Amino acid sequence: MVDFSLSDEERQIRDTVRSFIAKEVMPLEDEVLRNERAGRPGLAPDVIKELQRKARKAGFWGINTPEEYGGLDAGAVMSAILAIETGRTFVPFAFGGSADNILYAGTEEQKRRYLIPTIEGERRSCFAITEPGAGSDARNITTRAVKDASGDWVVNGEKTFITNGNEADFVMVFAVVPDAGVTCFLVDRDMGWKSEPIPTMGEWGPASLVFDDVRVPHDNVLGEVGKGFELAMQWIRNGRFMIPARAIGSAERLLQMAIDYANLRKSMGHLIGEYQAIQWQIADSQVEIEATKWLTLYAAWRVQNGLDARHASSIAKLNGAEMAGRVVDRVLQIHGGMGYTKELPIERWYRELRLLRIYEGTDEIQRRTIARNLLKGHVRLGGIGE
Ligand SMILES: Cc1cc2nc3c(=O)[nH]c(=O)nc-3n(C[C@H](O)[C@H](O)[C@H](O)COP(=O)(O)OP(=O)(O)OC[C@H]3O[C@@H](n4cnc5c(N)ncnc54)[C@H](O)[C@@H]3O)c2cc1C
């Protein structure tokens, strides 16, 4: 049976988060804009920590973290629904209490040193696979790790566009071990890697990382030597549906701004909302948002039920990234000259949402995946659900 309803408990969780975002987070938007426009971070780290503490008190901590680590373990579908809610604001807020999924593959000692402190917010991680010469072509990375006589690994190479790379105190870095293949290493900053921020059109910047003869103990190999590429794909794929989920919240918030403006702004003696040219932009936007919503929740449902979610996630991510771009552009257009100013946050959303078509697999790479699955017969047309 197909059932689109939420349980009472799920609805209550969603509504509590919606009201938390509206009451505690959205009021900070003006401050975020002021700070960013003065060249400062949107919010100071202690303000974000305080918000996370308040959210924890309200029961929202570790949304997708297993209960044995103090999390809510809400599952992929609920995580997507909550990402829609947090996506309604551009305030750089995320619930605390979570860690990169691949850290759960660590040894007990690695969990104690990396996983648990990350969940507790005491340590900050970053994930580094992209290199100046290898982005979409991630199999082509050239960072190398070689074991020396002492049994340590020596890592050399450069990574680029690494989110949190300038703030993190450890990195999950992927390097080629000759004759074995790509391997993931947990490398503390004080082992010697350096970072440099990369300015972008967005309000936060990734960083480039340099590894110059960085020595890493063998105990810091995550998973098995030569099995790192699978871990990298697991990191990327597991949360891919979260990108379109956030985009839905952002697009709905923006569309509401356009609706409000269309009901207020007059031109040539009429409200602009009376003109079909504006109505169609509003209607098309909602149709596209709804399409992303159901594609995203379907991908999340597959993850939650342990089904292969790769194809569904690529469809949802491609659709959501392109949808967000079209919606923010229409919303800007409906606001006319005001849409282009810094008095409104639309131009800020515009710059932020543009990234969605690039990271965690570009539009072109999603299309390539979808087409290859169909052409090779891995996926057949005509199914509904499973
Ligand atoms: C803000 C930001 C944050 C990021 N965070 C991280 C991070 O935390 N960790 C990390 O490891 N990486 C991160 N990335 C890197 C990101 O994943 C890559 O930028 C992305 O995968 C694209 O790689 P590229 O930039 O090298 O582009 P390229 O791979 O060089 O692609 C250039 C163009 O060619 C197209 N193209 C490439 N190959 C094909 C093909 N086979 N068929 C058709 N078209 C193709 C691409 O779609 C694109 O349009 C981040 C990037 C940005 C901008």
Ligand 1 centroid–CA 232 distance in Å is 14
The mean pLDDT of 281-298, rounded to a whole number, is 98
Nearest CA to ligand 1 atom 41: 365
Nearest CA to ligand 1 atom 4: 161
Residue-by-residue DSSP string for 71-94:
----HHHHHHHHHHHHTT--S---
Ligand 1 centroid–CA 39 distance in Å is 26
**pLDDT grade for 367, boundaries at 50, 70 and 90:** very high
Residue 371's Cβ-count burial label (10 Å; 0-12, 13-18, 19+) is exposed
Place of tokens 């989920």: 245
Contacts of 86 (CB under 8 A, 6+ apart): 17, 21, 25, 93, 94, 95, 246, 249
The mean pLDDT of 357-364, rounded to a whole number, is 96
Tell me the catalytic residues. 360
State the Cα–Cα distance between residues 292 and 255, nearest whole angstrom.
Answer: 14
Check residue 18 and report its DSSP letter. Answer: H
Q: State if residue 162 touches ligand 1 by the CB under 6 angstroms criterion.
A: yes
Q: State if residue 128 touches ligand 1 by the CB under 6 angstroms criterion.
A: yes
* pLDDT tens per residue across span 159-191: 999 999 999 999 999 999 999 999 999 999 999
Strands (E), the chain: 125-128, 144-147, 153-162, 170-177, 181-188, 194-197, 207-216, 221-222, 266-267, 270-271
Contact between 74 and 63 (Cβ < 8 Å) = yes
Residue 168's Cβ-count burial label (10 Å; 0-12, 13-18, 19+) is buried
State the Cα–Cα distance between residues 135 and 154, nearest whole angstrom.
Answer: 23
**pLDDT grade for 278, boundaries at 50, 70 and 90:** very high
pLDDT at 204: 83
Six token digits for residue 154: 């020596």
- The backbone torsions φ and ψ at residue 91, rounded to the nearest 5 degrees and listed phi first, read -60, 130
pLDDT at 2: 80
Ligand 1 centroid–CA 206 distance in Å is 13
The mean pLDDT of 225-243, rounded to a whole number, is 92
pLDDT at 385: 62
Check residue 306 and report its DSSP letter. Answer: T
**pLDDT grade for 386, boundaries at 50, 70 and 90:** low
Q: State if residue 130 touches ligand 1 by the CB under 6 angstroms criterion.
A: yes
* pLDDT tens per residue across span 27-41: 999 999 999 999 899
Contact between 330 and 253 (Cβ < 8 Å) = no
The yes-or-no verdict on residue 1 having pLDDT over 80 is: no
Report the mean per-residue pLDDT for the chain.
Answer: 95
